[in-house]
Structure 1
């Protein structure tokens, strides 16, 4: 049974197994997730989650990544930190499952590692194990059910795997934890979320929580009914330890749905190459794949609607020359020039780009100018993809900007240093979040 293979991997994997490129990616994804979560606390989504968790999951076992030295129970911190990690939609992703493995795995692993006084090496191993099994669970669930569901639906399995590793569960309890996590995971009908955006998004907060809760239930002899890994047509655990999905994910330069990134990238390239005056653009025609055309919100009333839009990020990028978390602010969303430009964005399905999705996430953009001139990009792949990775300096700059909302600029150096010392405790990693004062506060973008 393939669940047995997953359990063996959880129990037997070591940090040395990730040596080389996988470990580099593992550390990069942890850094990226911590930064995304820290900045995500500036959004109302995280405030709502924190208020709920403070009422129902009070405690001092695990640190919130809000930068004001707050703690909750393991369950509470997991739920809020995971919600915050995906709040800006700037967290790591993986095209094969069209979701966000790190955001659903890192927070429960971090909370458990802190509560159990684990080392950095133990924490990283747990995250690596959880990431690999989260992606494989997603592949198995999508193949078996034939329906595209969001991260929480399969990420719960990876969350449970990471926590089970840190808790050193026996095989029987680990099996129950994995099965319970999958069975109790949120359904997350993501295409509805794309067309009707809300704070639910990818269900990442609840998926992370479900994974940790599954471990707690399993420890009390709660039983489960197997996992998707046992389905006869699911063979995704066969290459555990040989193939690392960690190395084929992407990091996001822009705080919006990944499907919009190629168009934003192409528009920015055209703007720079031709010194485009946005007010002189009559039509923006985006050739893309079918799923991306569902990102059709033009005048987003809320942050989540801006993140799950194609016309708005593209128009804001053309107008401002960039698309950063600042472009999610209400004053930007209500800017009449940006709104007018968003109204002139056309989304067109391109058969070739459709056939290449989801293995490739691409777009081609035409700017039709008022004078009749047409500026055309080539087929564009967004930065951060496995074929076009963000350089280390750009990854660090992204993290510094996200941390800088509430934490000192040297936080990037501290995190990278801590992640490079396997024997150091996770408590050391978390020092920047435990030593700040409350003058920074939090609020809504």
Structure 2
């Protein structure tokens, strides 16, 4: 039996009773966080343009394009909701690996929109929705752990592991057989890809791989359901996923190790709307400004200590607003550190040209430098030195940035606060409807039809 056969057998046989309480609770947290993040990004740069483009092709009303008062075809609904969710780099991240470790990934930004769109089309129950999402998240996370992915390697795994995991979700909710699921994964293999140059050049196309993964996964499941055939071993075939995308660091055995016994997924709920590589320095800055009443205008110098690789990477570059301010801000250690010092938060409100051109913030940015002084293995670590005009010096170190459910978890209250702030920022829902979303997600497994939830986002 190939790895793909083993995965397909497991996915088709699994039902809600397969899942443990911890897995179910994690799914609910990711779903609530995702809804808030989609809301925050619904009208972010190029989201309305993508929505209009999808409408121009003609659509069959099947699933909700969230917060747009319209149902469109399911692949397009998943795509626009995923694109919106990626907007402020605020979605859940980090694929869980064995031993409560993690690797770089942004799984939920594809899997949650795919699951919501497909479940709405199928009028699936809450239990069916949770089961499909948990299965797809698990496969995507296992692929992330097994691939040996390196963010500086060139390819973007938000349309590789995400696409295959989302294909599991779409296929499960469509009721595909083992053979059909195998074919769906093979079909999706033909549409995997993505380049990290989207981020290196600070372009809005960084949002596309994740969104395309949603659309392509649903297409793959739908075509397989109609009899389309494809490679029989999308994962381990001679020219399968591991051969095409993974180098010497791959560990394919992780894909099926303890399959059905442990369910992996994203392990970080982000507290800040910026690339995770900026979070250690943000958190170190936050330690200082929360402990001391610092006047940003009285700051003389800020030194951020990072690893040489981080300092030379896409988040460590000299600050400039660039052609796409939203992207430049989210992927800049210097800018996010300045915002943290000035506002004690890093949220979507600061990811725009007007905020970036604030004279006081610009003066603070000019005083910040990055020093490549940390050991190479401290990639999730940062140290910050702030020197004031009167000579006072402050120092802080972040060993584990906030958000990892095992190492430095956000509290339930902090997750809820993030959700409500995103809803308030987006002005998409009243407080009463936002409360109803929270209550409905809390009892997801009791829903007879997932539209009991999605109706609030229409």
What TM-score, normalized to structure 2?
A: 0.87
Aligned residue pairs total 426
- Structure 2 residue aligned with 1:442: none
Do structure 1's residue 429 and structure 2's residue 453 form an aligned pair? yes
Whole-Å separation in 2 of the counterparts to 1:47 and 1:114:
22
- Structure 2 residue aligned with 1:121: 127
- Structure 1 residue aligned with 2:248: none
Do structure 1's residue 320 and structure 2's residue 339 form an aligned pair? no
Residue 371 and residue 147 in structure 1: after superposition, are their counterparts in 2 closer, same or farther (change >3 A)? same
Q: Deviations over 1:1-38 (max 9, x none)?
A: 11112112211222233222111111000111111111
Whole-Å separation in 1 of the counterparts to 2:319 and 2:24:
40
| Worse-matched range after superposition: 253-262 or 413-422 | 413-422
* 8 Å Cα contact 1:177/1:217 also seen in 2: yes
Do structure 1's residue 175 and structure 2's residue 182 form an aligned pair? yes
* 8 Å Cα contact 2:104/2:149 also seen in 1: no
Do structure 1's residue 87 and structure 2's residue 92 form an aligned pair? no
* 8 Å Cα contact 1:17/1:241 also seen in 2: yes
Q: Deviations over 1:396-436 (max 9, x none)?
A: 111112123210123443233323142421111112123xx
1:374 to 379, 387, 393: 393
Superposition deviation, residue 172 in structure 1? 1.3
* 8 Å Cα contact 1:131/1:158 also seen in 2: yes
Task: Spell out the pairing of 1:208-227 with structure 2 (5 A cutoff).
Answer: 208-225=214-231, 226-227=233-234
Whole-Å separation in 2 of the counterparts to 1:61 and 1:223:
25
Instruction: Describe the SS at the equivalent of 1:365.
Output: strand
Whole-Å separation in 2 of the counterparts to 1:343 and 1:13:
55
Do structure 1's residue 389 and structure 2's residue 409 form an aligned pair? yes
* 8 Å Cα contact 2:135/2:263 also seen in 1: no
- Structure 2 residue aligned with 1:308: 331
| Worse-matched range after superposition: 287-296 or 236-245 | 287-296
1:242 to 255, 261, 275: 261
Whole-Å separation in 1 of the counterparts to 2:334 and 2:416:
28
Whole-Å separation in 2 of the counterparts to 1:239 and 1:347:
42
Residue 365 and residue 433 in structure 1: after superposition, are their counterparts in 2 closer, same or farther (change >3 A)? same
Superposition deviation, residue 242 in structure 1? 2.3
- Structure 2 residue aligned with 1:278: 296
* 8 Å Cα contact 1:298/1:339 also seen in 2: no
- Structure 2 residue aligned with 1:71: 71
Whole-Å separation in 2 of the counterparts to 1:33 and 1:143:
24
- Structure 1 residue aligned with 2:439: 417
* 8 Å Cα contact 2:111/2:165 also seen in 1: yes
* 8 Å Cα contact 1:137/1:229 also seen in 2: no
- Structure 1 residue aligned with 2:22: 21
| Worse-matched range after superposition: 309-318 or 77-86 | 309-318
| Worse-matched range after superposition: 388-397 or 11-20 | 11-20
Instruction: Describe the SS at the equivalent of 1:37.
Output: helix
- Structure 2 residue aligned with 1:267: 285
Whole-Å separation in 1 of the counterparts to 2:230 and 2:305:
46
Whole-Å separation in 2 of the counterparts to 1:195 and 1:69:
35
Whole-Å separation in 2 of the counterparts to 1:222 and 1:144:
33
Whole-Å separation in 2 of the counterparts to 1:261 and 1:381:
9
Instruction: Describe the SS at the equivalent of 1:100.
Output: coil
* 8 Å Cα contact 1:396/1:412 also seen in 2: no
Instruction: Describe the SS at the equivalent of 2:371.
Output: strand
Whole-Å separation in 1 of the counterparts to 2:338 and 2:83:
27
1:193 to 192, 198, 212: 198
* 8 Å Cα contact 2:132/2:172 also seen in 1: yes
Whole-Å separation in 2 of the counterparts to 1:200 and 1:136:
26
* 8 Å Cα contact 1:132/1:245 also seen in 2: yes
| Structure 1 gap ranges (5+) | 435-445
* 8 Å Cα contact 1:287/1:348 also seen in 2: yes
| Structure 2 gap ranges (5+) | 96-101, 244-250
* 8 Å Cα contact 1:78/1:205 also seen in 2: yes
Superposition deviation, residue 155 in structure 1? 0.3
Whole-Å separation in 2 of the counterparts to 1:143 and 1:41:
29
Residue 167 and residue 312 in structure 1: after superposition, are their counterparts in 2 closer, same or farther (change >3 A)? same
Residue 426 and residue 41 in structure 1: after superposition, are their counterparts in 2 closer, same or farther (change >3 A)? same
Superposition deviation, residue 49 in structure 1? 1.6
* 8 Å Cα contact 1:267/1:365 also seen in 2: yes
Whole-Å separation in 1 of the counterparts to 2:224 and 2:307:
42
What TM-score, normalized to structure 1?
A: 0.90
RMSD, aligned α-carbons: 2.2
Q: Deviations over 1:198-250 (max 9, x none)?
A: 1121521111111111112222333323223455951122222222323x610
